Structures are given as structure tokens and as C-alpha cells.
């Protein structure tokens, strides 16, 4: 990418300002697709510091992103994520667990070693919590973030990494009867104490349960305890990703709950219950309690997050007013599709809701040429190049396809999954990279500009468009898993 600056901010072509916004900075880049066909195998080796398939998982978890080997000039954000991120590493591990079980194993153990053991506000650490971002305090990016935001390291500001940890552990253990013995494997925690993987599981479950038991509706909410912590502690972590239908930002002074966090938490409770029932852990009463908790959570997910508006869909989440009253964040997003990958809507009694969600995801507002839009095109904050408000994330579309394929009793779901697979493969072949995300417009394209706006309503600068990371681990894993499935 070759950079050139615009000396005076102006409204870029094909860009829409929202009410109260003005251009703060605009910078564009040149991008030329590679003439070489990208290799997902080569990139997973790079992301895991491996030289061949047998080494994947030998040298630690996958890092979140890398710069492409094909470009010598970078935009200013390239290379920011070349470290372990709990959520990212776990997602890569679980998507590839059937082919690279060793990667799942090493990811679980590494994150167990870093699992929270105490309460620390600067790190947002809590006992049992799985870290979000793993950096040494001497890392230049860590130094900058500590100075600007007051973060300590590792930083634990994620609400979904912990249930994803449980799910990945379960996925690894169920591969074979032998793998269940991994629960007995010993490691040394961040305080130098001897622990087993079973201890890490129990600690993660305890963290989830404490959060949910202290919540009036039994939800797993997030709210940063830091003034400058991550406001949305989920995969859509842009500060403006969680908002109301009129565009008003969610109230982060109170707890916010995301639909996909509840669904993955529901399944994590069930997975943990099965592991508790093993002879290694032998907590049968607690297992029964976890299943009851999951049953209640499933009911609350449907009661709280479903709306009949626009034909019916699951809203992105909930926030609370200043008095603590629950409110729906009533926007259509790709998050609703994650429920296909959960057991919340399994069973014939939920067939109608599954079909309604399928139709929503197939609507022209949600489905673009590249995949499922993060935000429907008829929502107020939609912009095709926005990070989480209109772009398409390949892993997100793959995750939805993977979930749709679970419901193979209806051929419509299989056809939908196959169509999504074809779209993301075509995107990567067209772009010639494994981008973090792509634009959600009518053409296959990536962002080639940085656009910062000043939002006078929120009184802050908002980066609404930027080029993606060139090689994103989630993307690589999604493409690799899709190609493996297609080759069967």
C-alpha cells in the first residue's frame, strides 16, 4: 500500500456523515491485489510459528494477525495484533481442532497459565477470567496503551474469552477418549502455583457463574471498570457497535449484554457439565446445577433478546437505562446468526424461529456479495466500510455457515451454508490476501483509506473506516476449515 495525505480534511467520495459528525482526518492508500493465489496453509504456519503441519501447536497458540509478505509499505495500523488474543486464539483453535488438535491443546494450556488469579483494576483481572490481550509490559504498543489508557498486562477486558475457553477445552476433550485425560495435565499458574487443567476449567466456570448470579436476569454482561477500558468487551469491540435503532450509543455506565455471548455461555455451561460428570472431576451435583442454569439462560435469551419487529429477529443485545432497567438494542446484525451454532434453538419447537433468522440473514439488507454484513444496510449507523457497522468479517460469515449446517434436517440451511462458503472463498481469491474484514457493499473490495470523524454528540473522535489487517488468523482458519470440508 502506498500512502498519500490530503492536507485539508474533506468529505471523501461515497461517504455519508451522520448527524453531528464532521471529517476530522482523511488519508487514502493504494492497494493492488496479489497476482499469487494466497495459501491458507502457509499463513497458518506463519501465525503459529510452524514450518509444517506437524509443528502447528508446537510453538504456542496462533497470534491474531500478521502483515502480508507481499507488501513493503504499510498503513499505520498494520502489525498491531501480532500477539496472542484470548478470543482470537481460541476461535482459531476450535475451528481447526479436528485437523490440529495440538493447537487447541497448547492454546488451552497457555491461556490457563495466564488465567486471572486476583482482582486487579488496571488489568481488569478477576479470578478465573481468561485474558483478552497478551503483551509484555515492555512491548512498545503495551507502553503506549498503558500511557494512554492506563492498562496493565496481560489485559483481561473480554467477557467472551472465558466461555470460549470452556468450549474449546470441551471440543478438544471430546475428540477421543484419551483426550479427556488432558484435564489431569499439570501446569504452573501466573502465581507460580501448581494446577491442573481441571482446576482452570472450574475457575473459569466459577467466574461465569459469579457474573451471572449477580445479574438480575442471569445474563453475562460487560462493563469496563477502567475509565479508558474497552467499552464493548466482545468481538465487536468498536465503541459504537452497540447502539439503539436511532443510532444512540448504548449506555456503558450500566451493564451491556450481547446475544452471542449468551448463546456461547449457554453451551459452555452444558459443556462444563459434561466435563464435571467425568471421573476426573467427579462433580455430579454441580453438573446438574449447570444444566439447570443453562436451561434457564436459554429461556431468558428467547424472552429478552427476541423482537417481532421487521418480521422477527434476535437483537444485538441489551443495555440499561440510568435506573438499571433493561432495554433492547434493537438493530439487525450478524450476531443473530451465531445462534445457529448454539443449542439454544435446537429442537422442533424452535423450527419457526430458526427459519425466521435464516430469512433475515438472506435479506438484501444483511447479505452482501462478500457475506453477511455486520450491520444491516437499512440501520442508521450502517456504512459499508465501518469496522463493525456494515463490513463483512469472513470468520463471522463462516461461523454462521458452520452453524446453519448443523440444522441439516432442512435443505434450505445446507444451501445457505454452501452459498456462504462459496462467497468467502471467492473473496479471498479476489483480494489475494486473508483480510481482517472487507467492505459490505455491492463489490468485493477492502478499505483503502482512513477516515476519522468528530462526533459532536458523543464528543469524541471516531475512526469509522480503515484498511484491514492483511492476514487475520480468524480469516485464515475459516478459509482453511472451509476448504477441508469441501475436499471431503
Quickly list DSSP for 11-70: PPTT--PPTTEEEEEEEEEE----SSPP-HHHHHHHHTT-SSGGGTTTS-SPPSEE--TT
Q: What are phi and psi of 166, to 5 degrees?
A: -65, -45
Read off the C-alpha cell for 141.
Answer: 504498543
Domain ranges, residue 150: 2-486
pLDDT of 3 reads 40
pLDDT in tens, 452-471: 999 999 999 999 999 999 99
Q: Which residues are CB-neighbours of 38 under 8 A, at least 6 positions away?
A: 428, 429, 432, 433, 434
pLDDT in tens, 352-385: 999 999 999 999 999 999 999 999 999 999 999 9
Q: How many domains does the chain have?
A: 1
pLDDT in tens, 54-76: 999 999 999 999 988 765 455 66
Question: Smallest Cα–Cα separation from 11: which of 451, 469, 485?
Answer: 451
Q: Which residues are CB-neighbours of 36 under 8 A, at least 6 positions away?
A: 70, 432
pTM (2 d.p.): 0.96
Quick one: pLDDT band at residue 6, thresholds 50, 70, 90?
very low
Is 153 in contact with 123 (CB distance < 8 Å)? Answer: yes
Interatomic CA distance for residues 112 and 128, integer angstroms:
9
Any idea how long the chain is?
488
Read off the C-alpha cell for 42.
Answer: 502457509
pLDDT of 483 reads 94
| Share above pLDDT 70 across residues of the chain, in percent, rounded to a whole number | 96
Q: How many Cβ atoms are within 10 Å of 177's Cβ, its own excluded? A: 8
In this predicted structure, the answer to whether residue 254 has a pLDDT above a threshold of 90 is: yes
pLDDT of 344 reads 98
Q: Which residues are CB-neighbours of 158 under 8 A, at least 6 positions away?
A: 86, 87, 130, 131, 132, 230, 233, 234
pLDDT in tens, 426-439: 999 999 899 999 99
Read off the C-alpha cell for 205.
Answer: 466456570
3-class SS of residue 288: helix
Task: Write down the residue that cell numbers 450502517 correspond to.
Answer: 382
Interatomic CA distance for residues 132 and 139, integer angstroms:
16
Interatomic CA distance for residues 259 and 317, integer angstroms:
5
Is 376 in contact with 245 (CB distance < 8 Å)? Answer: no
| Distance set, CA 252 to CA 69, 399, 434 (Å) | 39, 27, 33
pLDDT of 68 reads 84
pLDDT in tens, 180-200: 999 999 999 999 999 999 999
pLDDT in tens, 84-135: 999 999 999 999 999 999 999 999 999 999 999 999 999 999 999 999 999 9
Lowest mean pLDDT among 70-79, 252-261, 399-408: 70-79
Task: Write down the residue that cell numbers 444512540 correspond to.
Answer: 248
| Distance set, CA 352 to CA 308, 349, 359, 410 (Å) | 13, 8, 11, 12
Q: How many Cβ atoms are within 10 Å of 264's Cβ, its own excluded? A: 24
Interatomic CA distance for residues 388 and 122, integer angstroms:
26
Read off the C-alpha cell for 195.
Answer: 494446577
Lowest mean pLDDT among 12-26, 109-123, 160-174, 287-301: 12-26
Interatomic CA distance for residues 94 and 179, integer angstroms:
15
Q: What are phi and psi of 407, to 5 degrees?
A: -95, 60
Quickly list DSSP for 337-403: GGGGGSSTT-SGGGHHHHHHHHHHHHSTTTEETTEEBSB-TTSTT--TT-TTTT-B-HHHHHHHHHH
Peptide bond into 154 cis (omega under 30): yes
Q: Which residues are CB-neighbours of 237 under 8 A, at least 6 positions away?
A: 230, 231, 388
**CATH number of 323's domain:** 1.50.10.10
**CA end-to-end span of the chain, whole Å?**
37
Question: 317-320 and 194-196 as β-strands: parallel, antiparallel, unpaired?
Answer: unpaired
pLDDT of 241 reads 98
Quick one: pLDDT band at residue 78, thresholds 50, 70, 90?
confident
Q: 417: exposed, middle or buried (C-beta count within 10 Å: 0-12, 13-18, 19+)? A: buried
| Distance set, CA 111 to CA 84, 188, 191 (Å) | 9, 11, 14
pLDDT of 144 reads 96
Q: 107: exposed, middle or buried (C-beta count within 10 Å: 0-12, 13-18, 19+)? A: buried
Amino acid at each position: 500500500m502506498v500512502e498519500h495525505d490530503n492536507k485539508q480534511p474533506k468529505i471523501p467520495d461515497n461517504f455519508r456523515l451522520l448527524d453531528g459528525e464532521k471529517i476530522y482526518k482523511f488519508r487514502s492508500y493504494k492497494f493492488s491485489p496479489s497476482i499469487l493465489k494466497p495459501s491458507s496453509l502457509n499463513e497458518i504456519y506463519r501465525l503459529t510459528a510452524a514450518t509444517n503441519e506437524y509443528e502447528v501447536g508446537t510453538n504456542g497458540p496462533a497470534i491474531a494477525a500478521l502483515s502480508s509478505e507481499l507488501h513493503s509499505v504499510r498503513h499505520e495500523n498494520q502489525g498491531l495484533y501480532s500477539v496472542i488474543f484470548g478470543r482470537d486464539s481460541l476461535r482459531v483453535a476450535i475451528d481447526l481442532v479436528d485437523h490440529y488438535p495440538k493447537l487447541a491443546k497448547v492454546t488451552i494450556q497457555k491461556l490457563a497459565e495466564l488465567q486471572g488469579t486476583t482482582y486487579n483494576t488496571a488489568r481488569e483481572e478477576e479470578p478465573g477470567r481468561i485474558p483478552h490481550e497478551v503483551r509484555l509490559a515492555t512491548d512498545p504498543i503495551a507502553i503506549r496503551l498503558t500511557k494512554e489508557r492506563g492498562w496493565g498486562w496481560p489485559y483481561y477486558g473480554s467477557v467472551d474469552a472465558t466461555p470460549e475457553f470452556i468450549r474449546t477445552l470441551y471440543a478438544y476433550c471430546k475428540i477421543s477418549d484419551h483426550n479427556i485425560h488432558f484435564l489431569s495435565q499439570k501446569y504452573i499458574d501466573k502465581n507460580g502455583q501448581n494446577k491442573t487443567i481441571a482446576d482452570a476449567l472450574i475457575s473459569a466456570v466459577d467466574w461465569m457463574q459469579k457474573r451471572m448470579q449477580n445479574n438480575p436476569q442471569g445474563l453475562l454482561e460487560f462493563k469496563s471498570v477502567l475509565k479508558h477500558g474497552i467499552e464493548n468487551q466482545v468481538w465487536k469491540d468498536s465503541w459504537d457497535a452497540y447502539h439503539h435503532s436511532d443510532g444512540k450509543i448504548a449506555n456503558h455506565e450500566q451493564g451491556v449484554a450481547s446475544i452471542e455471548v449468551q448463546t456461547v455461555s449457554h453451551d459452555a455451561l452444558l459443556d462444563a457439565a459434561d466435563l464435571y460428570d467425568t471421573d476426573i472431576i467427579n462433580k455430579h451435583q454441580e453438573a446438574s446445577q449447570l444444566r439447570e442454569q443453562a436451561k434457564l439462560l436459554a429461556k431468558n435469551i428467547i424472552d429478552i433478546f427476541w423482537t417481532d419487529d421487521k418480521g422477527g429477529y434476535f437483537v444485538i443485545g441489551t443495555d440499561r437505562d440510568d435506573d438499571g432497567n433493561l432495554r433492547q438494542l434493537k438493530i439487525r446484525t450478524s450476531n443473530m446468526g451465531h445462534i445457529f451454532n448454539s443449542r439454544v434453538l435446537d429442537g422442533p419447537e424452535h423450527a419457526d424461529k430458526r427459519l425466521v433468522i435464516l430469512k433475515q440473514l438472506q435479506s438484501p439488507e444483511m447479505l452482501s456479495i462478500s457475506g453477511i454484513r455486520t450491520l444491516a444496510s437499512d440501520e442508521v449507523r450502517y456504512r459499508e466500510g465501518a469496522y463493525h457497522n456494515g463490513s463483512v468479517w469472513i470468520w463471522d460469515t463462516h461461523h454462521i455457515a458452520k452453524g446453519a449446517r448443523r440444522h441439516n434436517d432442512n435443505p434450505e440451511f445446507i444451501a445457505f451454508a454452501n452459498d456462504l462458503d462459496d462467497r468467502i472463498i471467492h473473496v479471498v481469491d479476489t483480494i489475494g490476501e486473508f483480510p481482517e474484514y472487507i467492505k459490505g457493499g455491492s463489490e468485493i473490495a477492502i478499505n483503502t483509506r482512513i477516515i476519522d470523524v468528530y462526533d459532536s454528540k458523543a464528543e469524541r473522535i471516531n475512526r469509522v473506516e480503515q484498511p484491514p489487517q492483511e492476514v487475520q488468523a480468524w480469516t485464515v482458519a475459516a478459509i482453511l476449515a472451509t476448504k477441508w470440508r469441501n475436499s471431503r
